[in-house]
Amino acid sequence: MIVHDLGLIEYGKALKIQEATRDAIISGEGDDTLLVCEHPKVITIGRAVGSAAEVFSRDIPVFEVSRGGRATLHLPGQVVAYPILDLKKREKDLHGYMRRLEEAIIATLGDFRINGERVEGKTGVWVGDDARKIASLGIAVKKWVCYHGIALNVICDLEAFKSISPCGFESNVMTSADRELGEEYRKVWAIDSDRLFKNVKTRLVENLNTELGVE
């Protein structure tokens, strides 16, 4: 995959890049691409019925988008990754594709000694016995080219999730890598928040490349 790190970018601009890349791949003029970025605070609403009612703030921009799922909050300190891929080169299996995205997140968390898990019946990646949500997923597909993707909380302001019911859950279900990182790991690696964010982003890109490569 071609990887583009867009840095901190407004959601609307990133969406236009996604759609242009998707259309280029459909036409045969583009290559599989992974966009990695952060967004200023923004709420997106997927196709699930009733998602608009999960937004409680009028002070944050809201986008209604084509991905599956419900209301999600993006904000600085969250690694967002948009794989834009031709699934015909892999497998025409959307559920399998979602599991690959989850596996890349779980592998990334494992690199930092955080035990990420799937929860039956719930999309995303979770940690702890009480199932705290650390990553959200939502995709769309056009002519078997997928877009949208994943959001992994690293060092973001978790209080901001009170502005929505994230994916239909209470806001206090959300957690982050910074919150879950063990003290032993911090001591051994002398890691600070900025370094944690950069390292998580690097490992996520590497793990997505591993999981989504053409076999």
Res 156: pLDDT: 93
Q: Cβ contacts of residue 29 below 8 Å, gap of 6+?
A: none
Please, are residues 40 and 60 in contact by the beta-carbon 8 Å criterion?
A: no
**Whole-angstrom distance, CA of residue 2 vs CA of residue 35:** 8
Calculate mean pLDDT across residues 45-49: 75
pLDDT for 179 beyond 70: yes
Catalytic, out of 37, 146, 156, 167: 167
State the burial class of residue 30 (Cβ atoms within 10 Å of its Cβ: 0-12, 13-18, 19+): middle
Annotated active-site residue 156? The verdict is no
CA atoms within 13 A on the CB side of 69: 25
Res 51: pLDDT: 64
> How many Cβ atoms sit within 10 Å of the Cβ of residue 130?
8
Query: Among 168, 174, 170, 132, which Cα is nearest to 45's?
Result: 168
Res 49: pLDDT: 56
Listing DSSP states for 146-195 in one string gives EEEEEEEESS--GGGGGGB-GGGS-GGGB--HHHH--HHHHHHHT--HHH
Calculate mean pLDDT across residues 32-36: 97
Give the confidence band of 107 by pLDDT, cuts at 50, 70, 90.
Answer: very high
